[in-house]
Amino acid sequence: MPVKKETKAIIALEDGRVFEGRAFGARGERYGEIVFNTSITGYQEILTDPSYKGQIVTMTYPLIGNYGVNPEDMESTRPHVEGFVVREYIRNYSNWRGQQNLEEFLQKYDIIGVEGVDTRAITRHIRLAGAMKAVISTEDLDHKRLVRKAQESPGLVGRDLVKEVTCGERYLWSSTERPHDFPTFKVVAMDFGVKHNILRILEGLGCEVTVVPADTSAEQILALNPDGIFLSNGPGDPAGVPYVVEEVRKLMGKRPIFGICLGHQILGLAFGGKTFKLKFGHRGGNQPVKDLRTGKIDITAQNHGFCVDIESMNKDEVELTHINLNDQTLEGMRHKRFPIYSVQYHPEASPGPHDARGLFQNFLTMMKDYRGY
């Protein structure tokens, strides 16, 4: 059997740092912000999380591909990363759920993977210098030219990535998670890049979930007569979607609202606050978050590069409910007059711990109170 010829892949960062590895998956040239994720498992969920649109993801765990890929672990209809960087790709997966190897999956969706890279060095560099623009190429191997390409590529600040991942039209979510007494509540989910596990959990709790595009107006949402409104996760800079912020502001006080990740940041802007870009973001399944009301600490799954500025929030209107214990950034808040709350992290996990999944039950309680029973 002939030995498969290796293809060199170059990763060039805008500050001049260059890494060499071997390509697996697709071939070509891709641009994005290079970041790292500290999760040990869950690479398929990470690849298919729309929040990673515009990013080249480096996995800190060294062995990736061990258990293959399967249809059940998809968090959207396809991968959204711009590139995928690992220390060692495992071609011969071993798991009863696996149906194809990771390389076949990346090839199908035209995603470039790079292995044989010192991912510890990349991670340390990003932690020190910050997440930055980068390019992956299997075509152009000239280091200086690739660095220039990275420098000239579009960044994430102010850019609208939501329009690239939101659904094209309204639809009713349906899966096998529906309880026997379905439905209990009608929820409209604004899709900024929603993960399927969020929709599964809401449905499993008895919610009929209608998913709408990100540019849906407040009037159109209220015309559906929902019991609650969910603001989803999504990619990029919340300041890049002012049209969404304006419509969310119109919804405040009209129905209970629950926001996660980008939805949390959009609420922060709707409340009159500001957002800023973190140095290297929070990405992984091991982020400690403290509930300021109870003192309870949850280990959470996170994936974001922007954050709501604590100092910009009006404390007379908004209660700060959660903080990140690593860097003291804002992780949760609720409005003091309206039934609105949000968290920066991912209580639905996939991948990650389930410590915070009870927040979905809180959303149901809020809708019950709003309906008066």
DSSP string, 323-349: EETTT--EEEEEESSSSEEEESSBTT-
pLDDT for the residue numbered 3: 41
**Residue 127 CB partners (closer than 8 Å, separation 6+):** 280
d(C-alpha 38, C-alpha 58), whole Å = 9
Share of the chain above pLDDT 70, in %: 98
* Average of per-residue pLDDT across 148-171: 96
Is-catalytic flag, 348? yes
* Average of per-residue pLDDT across 63-81: 96
Say yes or no: 188 and 332 in one domain.
yes
Is-catalytic flag, 152? no
d(C-alpha 367, C-alpha 373), whole Å = 9
Helix (H) / strand (E) element for 219: namely helix 218-223
* Average of per-residue pLDDT across 315-330: 97
Count the domains in the chain.
2
**Catalytic residue, candidates 80, 196, 335, 346:** 346
* Average of per-residue pLDDT across 18-41: 97
Domain that holds residue 269: 162-371
Say yes or no: 99 and 144 in one domain.
yes
Among 152, 180, 205, identify where a domain stops: 152
pLDDT band at residue 181, thresholds of 50, 70 and 90? confident
Structure tokens that stand for 190 in this block: 């604004």
pLDDT band at residue 177, thresholds of 50, 70 and 90? low
Please write the tens of the pLDDT for every residue from 44-56.
Answer: 999 999 999 999 9
Say yes or no: 135 and 209 in one domain.
no
Among 123, 152, 181, identify where a domain stops: 152
pLDDT for the residue numbered 4: 61
Cα dihedral 187, 193, 196, 197 in deg (nearest 10): -80
Say yes or no: 143 and 34 in one domain.
yes
Say yes or no: 167 and 195 in one domain.
yes
pLDDT at 184 over 90: no
Is-catalytic flag, 180? no
Say yes or no: 139 and 260 in one domain.
no
pLDDT band at residue 239, thresholds of 50, 70 and 90? very high
pLDDT at 331 over 70: yes
Share of the chain above pLDDT 90, in %: 91
pLDDT for the residue numbered 2: 44
* Average of per-residue pLDDT across 60-68: 97
Say if residues 115 and 87 touch (Cβ distance below 8 Å): yes
**Catalytic residue, candidates 103, 125, 261, 335:** 261
CA proximity to 170, closest of 199, 212, 209, 207 = 212
* Average of per-residue pLDDT across 34-62: 97
139: number of CA atoms within 13 Å, CB side? 8
Query: Partners of 24 in the beta sheet?
Result: 113
pLDDT at 163 over 60: yes
Give a yes or no: residue 127 inside a domain. Answer: yes
* Average of per-residue pLDDT across 48-65: 97
**Mean pLDDT lowest among 86-95, 103-112, 220-229, 353-362:** 353-362
pLDDT at 1 over 90: no
pLDDT band at residue 272, thresholds of 50, 70 and 90? very high
Q: Longest C-alpha distance within the chain, in Å?
A: 71
Among 152, 181, 214, identify where a domain stops: 152
**Catalytic residue, candidates 14, 75, 115, 348:** 348
d(C-alpha 177, C-alpha 41), whole Å = 24
Say yes or no: 132 and 180 in one domain.
no
Give a yes or no: residue 3 inside a domain. Answer: no
Say if residues 213 and 168 touch (Cβ distance below 8 Å): yes
* Average of per-residue pLDDT across 129-136: 97
pTM score of the predicted model = 0.95
pLDDT for the residue numbered 357: 85
pLDDT at 333 over 80: yes
Give a yes or no: residue 2 inside a domain. Answer: no
Residue 366 sits at the vertex; the CA angle it makes with 363 and 371, to the nearest 5 degrees, is: 130
Q: How far from the centroid of its chain's Cα atoms is residue 83's Cα?
A: 15
Give a yes or no: residue 157 inside a domain. Answer: no
Share the mean pLDDT of the chain. 95
Say yes or no: 180 and 103 in one domain.
no
Say yes or no: 232 and 351 in one domain.
yes
